[in-house]
């Protein structure tokens, strides 16, 4: 679960009250204290299927942190223990906190009316890359910024892959966070927010915290965002966007290791969020660290263009998986027969010749042409960016470059390695 104001909830606005029951979420109120009074809840940052995440104040260290409170049922507790194991290894190997991975600061158990909840305390970070993409109305953030962000992500991937043997398995824009918020007013330090140290009078109990001041602030923020959007359009789109990003810290960190695994201890066969899923996962052909590199390429494309690289759908007579494979081949060329028939699910999609069974006509549009023709990248930019991305999207997982190799690619030039 992201440790920022980003919600892990997709399009829904809140987690609903139904899951606040035995085995489910813990109901939190502003001012509630945890770990013997050390951490005090300030406001909800987001939620996911496994947990809610709160901005909290660490009274021992006088700092703001993200407090992730897991559901109490056994399976959720086991998932939390697994994430604690992964994040502890990451923190132990990175004493200087410079490897572009969100840092686990503490963990403890909290007893509540719905059971015992495992809680993770993680450094407070800012907005997700998804928020950054949406900030410019999905128009792309500019290649210079893409390069800087790519370097941060690659530093993190190189660390977990080569030094720790960890596969993230769910890299996507929601799971990479800027180290600070896009809007300073949403940052508790930069905005001068005074921490709440006890429960305010009149705070209400229940599954979702009703806070009148918070609702007023949200309404004010929405109105301000609408004005910014209108101003952007009136002042010429991209130019105004360039100005609006001035001064924003683009250093970032990879978060959410709830689905991560050790390279030699894999738990799930179906991994990765759909749009960022590698072909070997769809085919059931096994996977390794290179699945993260495929997802990384998809994220880089999305940052540059504002669009998701692959958007598969099911249609008449074919599945979402088959459409996904077809879209991959339209962009990257036909998959070799050897790879096409290599997985446990290959027969669901391919005939014995390595051709898709139900989608026969493919419309090929190579990556460099897509960037130039659809997204109007200048020809040199389209060619150089495609040259960086294309090897990462090789159908043969063993041929994809490692994160360390990507960091040496000439396309990245002299962009600064962005770490905190």
State the binding site for ATP: 68
State the binding site: 68
Gyration radius from the chain CA atoms:
22
Q: Are 138 and 307 in contact (CB under 8 A)?
A: yes
Q: Are 323 and 359 in contact (CB under 8 A)?
A: yes
Q: Which of 58, 94, 148, 170 is catalytic?
A: 170
Q: Are 321 and 312 in contact (CB under 8 A)?
A: yes
Single out the residue of 191, 175, 173 nearest to residue 183, CA to CA. 191
Single out the residue of 335, 336, 277, 286 nearest to residue 311, CA to CA. 277
| Cα separation, 228 vs 232, whole angstroms | 6
Residue 170 catalytic? Answer: yes
DSSP secondary-structure letter at 56? E
Report residue 116: phi and psi, to 5°. -100, 125
| Cα separation, 101 vs 380, whole angstroms | 33
Tally of CB atoms within 10 A around 374: 11
Q: Are 66 and 53 in contact (CB under 8 A)?
A: yes
Query: Residue 168 forms beta bridges with which residues?
Result: none
**Among all residues, which ones are annotated catalytic?**
170
């Amino acid at each position: 679960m992201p440790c920022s104001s980003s919600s892990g909830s997709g399009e829904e606005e809140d987690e609903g009250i139904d899951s606040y029951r035995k085995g489910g979420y813990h109901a939190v109120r502003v001012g509630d204290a945890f770990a013997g009074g050390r951490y005090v809840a300030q406001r909800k940052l987001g939620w996911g299927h496994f947990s809610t995440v709160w901005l909290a104040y660490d009274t021992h260290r006088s700092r703001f942190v993200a407090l992730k409170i897991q559901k109490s049922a056994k399976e959720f507790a086991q998932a939390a223990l697994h994430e604690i194991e992964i994040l502890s290894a990451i923190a132990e190997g990175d004493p200087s906190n410079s490897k572009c991975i969100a840092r686990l600061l503490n963990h403890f158990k909290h007893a509540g009316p719905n059971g015992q909840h495992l809680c993770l305390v993680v450094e407070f970070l800012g907005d997700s890359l998804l928020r950054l993409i949406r900030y410019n109305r999905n128009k792309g953030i500019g290649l210079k910024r893409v390069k800087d962000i790519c370097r941060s992500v690659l530093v993190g991937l190189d660390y977990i892959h080569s030094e720790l043997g960890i596969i993230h398995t769910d890299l996507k824009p929601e799971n990479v966070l800027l180290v600070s918020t896009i809007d300073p007013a949403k940052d508790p330090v930069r905005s001068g927010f005074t921490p709440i140290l006890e429960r305010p009078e009149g705070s209400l109990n229940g599954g979702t915290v009703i806070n009148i001041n918070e609702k007023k602030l949200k309404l004010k923020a929405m109105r301000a965002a609408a004005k910014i959007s209108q101003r952007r359009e009136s002042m010429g789109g991209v130019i105004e966007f360039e100005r609006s990003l001035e001064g924003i810290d683009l250093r970032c960190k990879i978060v959410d290791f709830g689905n991560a695994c050790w390279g030699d201890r894999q738990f799930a066969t179906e991994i990765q969020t759909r749009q960022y899923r590698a072909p070997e996962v769809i085919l059931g052909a096994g996977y390794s660290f290179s699945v993260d590199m495929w997802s990384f390429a998809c994220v880089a494309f999305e940052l540059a263009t504002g669009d998701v690289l692959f958007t598969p759908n099911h249609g008449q007579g074919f599945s979402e998986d088959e459409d996904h494979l077809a879209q991959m081949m339209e962009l990257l060329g036909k998959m070799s027969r050897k790879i096409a028939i290599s997985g446990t699910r290959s027969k669901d999609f391919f005939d014995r010749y390595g051709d898709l069974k139900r989608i026969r006509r493919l419309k090929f549009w190579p990556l460099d042409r897509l960037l130039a023709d659809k997204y109007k990248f200048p020809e040199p930019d389209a060619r150089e960016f495609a040259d960086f991305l294309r090897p990462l999207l090789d159908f043969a997982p063993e041929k994809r470059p490692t994160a360390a190799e990507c960091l040496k690619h000439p396309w990245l030039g002299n962009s600064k390695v962005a770490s905190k």
